[in-house]
Structure 1
Amino acid sequence: MEGCSYYLAMVLAQLAYGGSSILTKFSLLEGLDPIVFVVYRHVIAMLLLAPFAYVLERKERPALSISIAAKVFVLALFGTTIHLNVYYAGLAYISPTVACALGNVVPSLTFLMAVLLRMEKLKIKSARGQAKVIGTLLCISGSLIFTFWKGGYLFKGFVERPLINAYNTEMRHGKENWIKGSVLIFTSHIAWSSWLILQAVVSKVYPAPLSLTTMICFFASLQSSFVALIFARNQDSWRLEWNLKLLTIVYSGVVISALVYYLQTWCIRYKGPVFAAMFSPLQVIIVAIFSAIAFAERLHLGSLIGAFLIIVGLYCVLWGKNKDGVVDELTQNGKGVLNGGISMNDRYSDESCN
C-alpha cells in the first residue's frame, strides 16, 4: 500500500490542480488580481501548515542553516513567484484547457534536466530506458494533438447548454493573445520544471516536508509581496469579500499551496522529480472533461487520440521507473534476491503498484 500511496497522491494532486485552473480562470475574469492572489494563497498556506510543522516535525527537523535557507528561497522563487505570476498572466489570454495542455512540456523538460544532472538513470539500450523515452515522447505528442488538432469528428457534448457562462467577458482569445498567452504559460512551466529538480536536491538536505513546504510558502509570500508593491498598488484589489474570488483564494491556499505542495514534496523526496512531473498530462484530461460538462465544450477526435497517447505514455514512463527501482534494490542487495527473499522474476510477476 505504501507504493500505491505515491500514485494516489499524485493523481489527487492533478485533480486539485484541475479544479484550481477552472476556479482561477473564473476569478480572473471577475477581476481577481493574480499578484494579490499569489500573496494571499501562500499566506493562508503558511499559517495553516506552520502549527503542524512545528508540532509533528520537532524531533526530525534538521537545523536551518544559511545555505539551506538560501536554497529554499530559490525554490520559492522558481516554483511560486516566477511560475505562478507568469502562469496567471498567461491564463488571462487562453482557455484553461489549452493552458493545461501546454503544461505537458513539464515531463519532458524535467526528464531532460534530470538526465543532464544525472539525477535520472537512462540506459537507452535497456527496455526500461526505452520505455521512459518513448513514454515521454508519447506524452508530448498526445498533448500537442490534444491541443492543436481541432479537425476530425466533433463529438456531441455532455450537455446542450453550458452550466456556467465563463467566457462572456470582453476578453477574447484571438490569435495574438493566444500566442502571447502560450509563450507566458511555456515560460512558467520552465520555472516549474526547475522547481521539481531543485526540490529533489533540497529534500535530501532538509528531510522535513511539512517544514520545507511552510518555508517555501513563507518566502513565496515575501517575494510576491515585493512584486505586488510594484504592480498591484490598487487598494481595491486587496479587498476581500464573500464571493468567488475569496473561494478561489481559500481553495488555492488550503488545497494547492498547503496540501498539494506537501504531497509533491513528499513524493519527490522518495520517488524523484520525474515521477512527480509525469502525472502532469492527466490534468489536461481532467480539465477537458470538466469543461465539456460545465461549458458545453465539444470534444474532437484529436482530443480522444491525444488523451489516449498521454495515458499510454504515462504508463510507459512509470513502468520504466518501476523497473529501475527493482534493479536498484537488486544491485544494493548484491545477491540476486530482493529484500524479503523474493526473486527478481517473482517481483516482476507479482508487483502491482510498486
Structure 2
Amino acid sequence: MKSFKRSIYRYHHVQIAYGGSNIIMKLALQKGLNPIVFVVYRHLIAILVLSPFAYIFERKSRPSLSFRMAMKIFLLSSMGTTVHLNLYYIGLEYTSPTVASALSNVIPSLTTLIAIVLGMEIVKLGSNRGKAKLFGILACIGGSLIFTFWKGERLFTSFKQKPLIQLYDTEGESRNHKENWVKGALLILISDVALSAWLILQATVYKIYPALFSLNVLICIFASLQSSILAMFWARNPHLWKLDWNVQLLAIVYCGVVISALVYWLQTWCISKKGPVFAAMFCPLLLVIVGIFSAIVFAERLYLGSLIGALLIVFGLYCVLWGKKTDTEMPSTSRRGYDDDKVLDIPVDNSTMMAPIKK
C-alpha cells in the first residue's frame, strides 16, 4: 500500500516536470533551437548528473554489461529518446503545447494494449476492477478529446489580460512559426507510439539490468550518440550548436537535469514497481497541467469544454488507479502482471534470463 501511494506521489511530480518542459521547449523552439541539437545537449548534461550517483551507489552491485545487453539498451534508447524526442519536438514546432499534450493521451491506450498482448496487464471485464480500468481509460481519452476539440461557452478570458510571454508578433505570427497542424499531429502521434514501446521495453530491460542509475546513464549515452549521427545530416551548421544565455540554454539545462536525469530515474523506478501501464496512465494529467500553464503564460482562454475535459481526465485516471490498487491488495499466484513490490518476470532472451529480482 505504501509503495502504491509513493508511486502515485512521485509520478504526479513527473507530469508536472513534463508540463514545464513543454512550455519552455515551445519558447526555445520559437527562438530557433534545433531539436536534434537539443536532444544531444540535454543528454550530455544528464550523463554528468547521473554518472556520480551510478558510480557511488552501483559500482559493486550493477550487472556486467554484455554486448547483447548493450544492444537491448541501445534499442531502448532509440525508441524512448532518439525517435520519440526528435519527432515530438519537431511536431511541437507545428502545434501548441496544449494540442501536443492532448495528442499524447493515446499513450495509455497503446501501452495497455501492448501490455495485454504480452500478458503484463490483465483486464477482467467481469470484475469491478477490470471495469474500472476500462472505464477509466475511455474516460481519459474522451476527456482529452473534449478538452481539445470542444470549446463550448467561455468561462474565463484568461488568468491574465495579456500573456506573460509573447510568442508571436503583432501580426500573430513569429518568424519561425510553422502552420501545419496535420503534419505536427502526425509526428507527435508517431512519437507517442515510440514512447509506448519504450515503456514496455524499459520494464523488460530493467528486469535483466536492475541498476537504476547505471541503466539511465547508458540510455543517455546512446541517446547522445544516436542524435549526434542524425545531426551530421540535419544539423551541420555550427551556428546551431552555439549556446548563449537565453531561453535555449534554459531549456537545455532544465530538461537535462530535471527530465533526462531526475524524471528518467523516477520513471524507471515507478515502472519497476508498478509496470508500464501504471506509468502511462498519468499522461492525461499532462494535458491539464499544460493547459493551466498556457492560460497563465500565454493568456490562452479557458472554456467550458476545457473544464469538463479536465474533470473527465482526472476522474478516469483515478478509476484506473483504483483498479490497480485493488489488484495489489488481492494476492494471486497466477497473475502475470506486476505485484506491489515485484518486478515482472518476462523472458527476454534464453541466454540472458535471470531469476526474479526481489525488493
Query: What TM-score do you get using the length of structure 2 for normalisation?
Result: 0.89
The aligned residue for residue 189 of structure 1 is: 192
Matched ranges for 1:301-320 at <5 A:
301-320=304-323
1:230 & 1:137 partners in 2: Cα distance? 41
Percent identical among aligned pairs is 59
1:170 equivalent to 2:171? Answer no
Letter in 2 for 1:290: F
Offset at residue 154 of structure 1 (A): 4.2
Q: Is the CA contact 2:94–2:177 (under 8 Å) kept in the aligned structure 1?
A: yes
- Secondary structure class of the residue paired with 2:332: helix
1:28 & 1:89 partners in 2: Cα distance? 9
The aligned residue for residue 346 of structure 1 is: none
2:122 & 2:329 partners in 1: Cα distance? 13
Q: Is the CA contact 1:72–1:202 (under 8 Å) kept in the aligned structure 2?
A: yes
**Bigger shift: 116-125 or 219-228?**
116-125
**Bigger shift: 161-170 or 288-297?**
161-170
Q: Which runs of 5+ in 2 are unaligned?
A: 335-339, 341-359
1:94 equivalent to 2:99? Answer no
Matched ranges for 1:1-354 at <5 A:
1-168=2-169, 169-171=174-176, 174=179, 177-327=180-330, 330-332=331-333
Q: Is the CA contact 2:93–2:177 (under 8 Å) kept in the aligned structure 1?
A: no
Offset at residue 325 of structure 1 (A): 1.2
2:147 & 2:110 partners in 1: Cα distance? 19
Letter in 1 for 2:262: L
Which string of whole-angstrom CA distances, capped at 9 and with x for unpartnered residues, describes residues 110-168 of structure 1?
01110011111111111111111110011011111111112333423111111110233
Q: Which runs of 5+ in 1 are unaligned?
A: 334-338, 340-354
Which string of whole-angstrom CA distances, capped at 9 and with x for unpartnered residues, describes residues 196-248 of structure 1?
00001111111111111110000001000000011100000001111111111
1:69 & 1:156 partners in 2: Cα distance? 52
Q: Is the CA contact 2:111–2:199 (under 8 Å) kept in the aligned structure 1?
A: yes
Q: Is the CA contact 1:46–1:218 (under 8 Å) kept in the aligned structure 2?
A: yes
Offset at residue 3 of structure 1 (A): 3.2
Taking a change above 3 Å as real, the CA distance of residues 148 and 171 of structure 1, as seen in their structure-2 partners, is farther
Offset at residue 173 of structure 1 (A): 6.2
1:128 & 1:70 partners in 2: Cα distance? 38
1:153 & 1:298 partners in 2: Cα distance? 8
Q: Is the CA contact 2:212–2:265 (under 8 Å) kept in the aligned structure 1?
A: yes
Q: Is the CA contact 1:42–1:220 (under 8 Å) kept in the aligned structure 2?
A: yes
RMSD: 1.5
Q: Is the CA contact 1:93–1:171 (under 8 Å) kept in the aligned structure 2?
A: no
2:181 & 2:17 partners in 1: Cα distance? 25
- Secondary structure class of the residue paired with 2:156: coil
Offset at residue 172 of structure 1 (A): 5.1
**Bigger shift: 114-123 or 163-172?**
163-172
Offset at residue 324 of structure 1 (A): 1.1
1:158 & 1:89 partners in 2: Cα distance? 29
Letter in 2 for 1:123: K
Which string of whole-angstrom CA distances, capped at 9 and with x for unpartnered residues, describes residues 241-284 of structure 1?
11111111010000000000000001001100000000111111
